[in-house]
Amino acid sequence: MNLTIILAVTVVLAVVSFFITRLNKKAGGFLTVIASLFAFVGLFLLKGSIGGEFSIFYFSFKITMVGWYFALIMVLAYSMTSFFNPFWMDKMMYPGSYNFMYLLSMAGTIGMFFAKDFITLFIFWETVVWSSTFIIQLGKSRKASYVYYVVSAIGSMATLFAIMMAYSVSGTFVISEAFAGLSGGAAIAVFFTFILSGLAKIGIFPFHVWLPAAHGNAPHTFSPVLSGGLVKMGAFIAFLSVTAFPAYEIFSGMFKVMGTPFPIYFLMALGAISIIVGTLMAIKQEDAKKLLAYSSVANGGYILIGILMLDQVGFAGGMMHLVNHAVASAAAFLAIAAVAYRTGTTKMSEMGGMIHRMPVTYIVYLVAIISMAGIPPMGGFVSKWLIFQGLADKGMLFLAAAAFFGSIGSFMYVFRPLSAVFLGQTFTRDLKKKEVGFFMMLPMLILTALSILAGVFPNTILRVITEIQASVGISPVTLAENTIVTVNGYLDAFRVFIVFGFGFTIAFVIFIVRRKSKKVELMDTYTSAEFIHTRELLHYSSKFYAPFERLYDKAPDTMKLYKKIAVKIGELGNLTESLFYGHKPEKTVFWVMITGIFVVIIGGVV
């Protein structure tokens, strides 16, 4: 398969879907499914041509292993989510442009991962940013779209600055050569500005504000893409900023923390802060999608820490966590979208007991959160295990503390939607609701299967990662047949799965041989001799962790920082307006005179 064909077909189909949607909304939605599946299959077949270089127009591309890996994850999120598109067309204000932007942004991400030079990368990157901005505005909040754009813009402008600065030294935009010859203060400036767009996209503190806003309010069919896919673009920049930009070499003379140069450690520390902030904030959300958004912040922290380690074990963990989080988070968002499709809400206090109406969706969500929380036998466990092992090897105590906090805290927040949305009492309103149709169920089941497969046979993914590790010149993680070996221990995920199955079977047998239990109604519970007949009242869902939340309810809101900056810029604008652009000509005359005198003085001095 040829990348030119993939890009051309997706872009053309994007335009076609725009017009088809005008004729028939559903057909346009289905076209996105076809286009994204085509791209996925095409990318999958592209593996054979890794190493190839070519150009389309003035864009130059290079098929790399890491690009292939990222693109595949990205398009997986896009293609799976696209199955939902046809069913949401009626709810969209601009279905045509939604489909167009959906496919355009997908093409953008593909092009970005295969870019050979930074300008190509930047063009595709920004195309993704603006097209997704226009999708998010169709959701529940206009402000969300604005916040998303601004935070993205902070990142991309900084990165553009870094690219240009590097260019002024090396004279080239080619990714592999652009950072040559940098040193000293310029190197530090380029490093920090370059990675900024990555941090902004992953949602690293203090740029995480856009995730809850955008993930939480985007159309339900786009949140899975945002969290499962677009966030990973940032990870790619993070990857480039330790590989294409040889950060470990350039900063090797600097002050080191546990063997890691300080600038890199600083970013890892930001990752750790994101884990803590994401976890704490996720715990207190009342909206399922916002909760998952904050969980993406926390998981982004793991990914960043893993990738920045650039070593044998932790790096592999970070790279693998990309897949696991993409799959799990897309599945979780899709499950919530499926529930919202039936109930029309994502607020946890407005739902309950959906398991009795939508059992398949429940299973999908359950597997997703098990993976997200890093519990075996799902994929998320393996990648978190690798990150922990990597951190333990280097003795990075504080990062590890944050990682543990996030890991255990994730039990708390992932359980919340499970309990509030799916378990407990079914609301009277929802008693007649049905499971979603097969077409919507299909992508969720595929993602669920992938989560489990990644946990049982992690080496399939890790083998690709070893090739990436080899391509950037670090020693690859050691893999035996089913086993992952690290300095501190080894993991045989398949055997863990088998033993788990063994235990489960024993428990199941004991359960079956005992007398069959009597099925009772959900309302038939112990209520301390109270008579409660309202289902809604017998459901514990809002302020789930109230005693814990109370401990940090006075924590400052990062959004306030941005608002403050906005106010300051506004004040500068206000000042400009009142000083220079009034309706009084004498003001201008005054300034002309002042400037004149100033110039004369300067002239006298010079």
Partner 1 sequence: MINPVFMIAIPLILAFLSLVAARIKKWLLLSGVLINIAILFFLEKGETVIGGFKPPFGINLILDNYSMVGLALAGLLLLAGVVLSLDKADKYSTVLLTALAGINGMLLTGDLFNLFIFMEITIISAYILSTAGKKPEYSFNYLVIGSIGSVFYLAGLVVFYSLTGTLNMADLAAQNLSMGTPELLVPLFLIFTAFAIEAKLIPFGGWVKGVYGNSNRLTGALFASVYASTVLFVFGRVFNEVFALSGAVQTIIVLIGVVTFAFGEAAAFRQVKMRRILLYSSIGQSGLAAALFALGLIFPAVLLVISNAVSKFIMFSITGKLREIYKTDDYTDLKGVFFSNKLTGIAFSISAMSLIGLPLFFGFYAKLNALTALFNGGNWFIPAVILLFAIVEGAYFIRLLIALWAPGKEGEIADKSHAVGEIRIFNIKKSILVFILSLVILAAGLIPDLAGKLISSDSGFMGGDGPAFTMSQLKGGE
Partner 2 sequence: MNVMSFVYGFLVLLGVFVFQTTLTGLNRKVTARLQKRYGARWYQQFLDIFKALRKDSTSHGWVFDFGVIMALGGIMATVIFIPVAGFEAFPGLDNIFVISYLLAVGMLGMAMSAAGSGNPWASIGVARALTNMLAYDVPLMIVIFTLIFAFDSSSLSEIAALQQGMGILGWNAFRMPLGGIVAVIALLGMLGKKPFDSFIAPTEIASGPMVEYGGKHLGFMFILHEFMTFIEVSIILSLFFGGGATIWEYMLKYAVLYTFMNIISGVMPRFKIDQAVKYFYRVPLAMAIVQGLVVIFTGLGVTLWF
- Enumerate residues 420-479 that contact partner 1 by CB under 8 A: none
Q: Does 591 bind partner 1 (CB under 8 A)?
A: yes
User: Smallest distance from the beta carbon of 210 to partner 1, in angstroms?
Assistant: 13
Crossing angle for the helix pair 438-456 and 493-513, to the nearest 10 degrees: 120
119 binds, among partner 2, partner 1, none (CB under 5 to 8 A by kind): partner 1
Q: Does 363 bind partner 1 (CB under 8 A)?
A: no
Report which secondary-structure segment, H or E, holds 261: strand 260-261
Start-to-end Cα distance in the chain: 67
288 token code pair = 């399922």
Site residues for partner 1, window 511-540 (CB under 8 A)? Answer: none
Side chain identity, residue 278: G
528 binds, among partner 2, partner 1, none (CB under 5 to 8 A by kind): partner 2
- 175-195 burial, b at 16+ Cβ within 10 Å, e below that, comes to beebbeebeeeebbebbbbbb
* 344 Cβ contact partners less than 8 Å away, ≥ 6 residues apart: none
Cβ distance to partner 2 smaller for residue 397 or 449: 397
User: Smallest distance from the beta carbon of 483 to partner 2, in angstroms?
Assistant: 9
Chain-centre distance for alpha carbon 186 = 30
Cβ distance to partner 1 smaller for residue 192 or 545: 192
Cβ distance to partner 2 smaller for residue 161 or 411: 411
Cβ distance to partner 1 smaller for residue 534 or 595: 595
81 token code pair = 């989510």
Q: Does 126 bind partner 1 (CB under 8 A)?
A: yes
Cβ distance to partner 2 smaller for residue 161 or 415: 415
401 binds, among partner 2, partner 1, none (CB under 5 to 8 A by kind): partner 2
Give the residue, chosen from 140, 257, 349, 496, that forms a contact with partner 1 under the rule CB under 8 A.
140
Assess contact for 539 and 353: CB atoms under 8 A: yes
Give the residue, chosen from 460, 534, 542, 588, that forms a contact with partner 1 under the rule CB under 8 A.
588
580 binds, among partner 1, partner 2, none (CB under 5 to 8 A by kind): partner 1
User: Smallest distance from the beta carbon of 418 to partner 2, in angstroms?
Assistant: 7
User: Smallest distance from the beta carbon of 579 to partner 2, in angstroms?
Assistant: 51
265 binds, among partner 2, partner 1, none (CB under 5 to 8 A by kind): none
Q: Does 180 bind partner 1 (CB under 8 A)?
A: no
Cβ distance to partner 1 smaller for residue 129 or 440: 129
User: Smallest distance from the beta carbon of 526 to partner 2, in angstroms?
Assistant: 6
Give the residue, chosen from 82, 137, 451, 459, that forms a contact with partner 1 under the rule CB under 8 A.
137
Cβ neighbours, 10 Å, residue 107: 26
User: Smallest distance from the beta carbon of 91 to partner 1, in angstroms?
Assistant: 6
Assess contact for 132 and 98: CB atoms under 8 A: no
Cβ distance to partner 2 smaller for residue 324 or 425: 425
Cβ distance to partner 2 smaller for residue 187 or 332: 332
Q: Which among 432, 387, 384 has a CA at the least distance from the CA of 411?
A: 384
Q: What is the DSSP letter of 257?
A: E
Cβ distance to partner 1 smaller for residue 157 or 412: 157
Radius of gyration over every alpha carbon of the chain, rounded to an integer in angstroms: 26
Q: Does 58 bind partner 1 (CB under 8 A)?
A: yes
93 binds, among partner 2, partner 1, none (CB under 5 to 8 A by kind): partner 1
Side chain identity, residue 162: A
CA dist 456 → 382, 453, 500, 501 (Å): 9, 5, 11, 12
User: Smallest distance from the beta carbon of 193 to partner 1, in angstroms?
Assistant: 9
Q: Does 117 bind partner 1 (CB under 8 A)?
A: yes
Give the residue, chosen from 5, 470, 555, 579, that forms a contact with partner 1 under the rule CB under 8 A.
579
Cβ distance to partner 2 smaller for residue 8 or 523: 523
Cβ distance to partner 2 smaller for residue 95 or 455: 455
- 3-state SS track over 369-397: HHHHCCCCCCHHHHHHHHHHHHHHHHCCH
In whole angstroms, give the CA distance from residue 561 to residue 417: 29
In whole angstroms, give the CA distance from residue 7 to residue 13: 10
In whole angstroms, give the CA distance from residue 234 to residue 195: 8
In whole angstroms, give the CA distance from residue 447 to residue 445: 5
15 binds, among partner 2, partner 1, none (CB under 5 to 8 A by kind): none
Burial of 516 (0-12, 13-18, 19+ CB in 10 A): exposed
CA dist 92 → 107, 206, 368, 432 (Å): 22, 32, 27, 26
Site string for partner 1, 187-226 (x = CB under 8 A): --------------------------------x-------
User: Smallest distance from the beta carbon of 369 to partner 2, in angstroms?
Assistant: 9
In whole angstroms, give the CA distance from residue 56 to residue 538: 62
Assess contact for 486 and 393: CB atoms under 8 A: yes
Cβ distance to partner 2 smaller for residue 262 or 405: 405
User: Smallest distance from the beta carbon of 533 to partner 2, in angstroms?
Assistant: 13
10 token code pair = 């997706």
In whole angstroms, give the CA distance from residue 207 to residue 561: 11
Binding segment toward partner 1, per CB under 8 A, in 23-31, 43-51, 151-159, 482-490: 151-159
Binding segment toward partner 1, per CB under 8 A, in 38-46, 53-61, 505-513, 522-530: 53-61
In whole angstroms, give the CA distance from residue 249 to residue 260: 11
581 binds, among partner 1, partner 2, none (CB under 5 to 8 A by kind): partner 1
Assess contact for 365 and 441: CB atoms under 8 A: no
Crossing angle for the helix pair 379-394 and 314-343, to the nearest 10 degrees: 140
439 binds, among partner 2, partner 1, none (CB under 5 to 8 A by kind): none
Crossing angle for the helix pair 314-343 and 359-372, to the nearest 10 degrees: 150
In whole angstroms, give the CA distance from residue 507 to residue 390: 35
User: Smallest distance from the beta carbon of 422 to partner 2, in angstroms?
Assistant: 8
Assess contact for 331 and 294: CB atoms under 8 A: no
Binding segment toward partner 1, per CB under 8 A, in 122-130, 201-209, 239-247, 538-546: 122-130
Site residues for partner 1, window 546-575 (CB under 8 A)? Answer: 566, 569-570, 572-575
Q: Does 1 bind partner 1 (CB under 8 A)?
A: no
391 binds, among partner 2, partner 1, none (CB under 5 to 8 A by kind): partner 2
